[in-house]
Structure 1
């Protein structure tokens, strides 16, 4: 997907109120750090798992960009459907999308 298409998807979701989760700056910062510094230990069409030390964090990557890039699981704590889910900024969603895309190109995703 081109940067232009990503921008249009995110813009339309914002304007039409179609994002499933609200923006959260703390989650944006945390996800950026994971993308830049953590090891990807698993990735499939719906989830990507990052390992930080002994902690594993799962992030939703299905259906971009409606409910994209929200935290599913942090260590042993699962987030309920109605609480604890947030979305990062457009820039971070694009960065995560590019990471997943690079893993797909390497045939890493099962």
Structure 2
């Protein structure tokens, strides 16, 4: 999710930069997490007598997206592009699967 705070639109929706990494604001819960480093997964696995039990993914992101665009800036920060990734503190990687627009290309 991109909040309209940067006031930059790209083909309709608001464009994101590498600092749009806030859990529960920019990154909403999604899919299932199977990382044993996630306390919810560890608790569910212990309750299932050691059988790995995935739980809903509640993102835990501390660092910005990387690498971002080296040439396009939004609010003085690199714009996100299709190769940007966000590392989760529990060991996962978050990537953009559907950018929300198809008319603007960010290098």
Q: Tell me the TM-score normalized by structure 2.
A: 0.24
Q: Which has the larger helix fraction? A: 1
Higher strand share: 1
Q: Which of the two has higher C-alpha Rg?
A: 2
Taking structure 1 as the reference length, the TM-score comes to 0.24
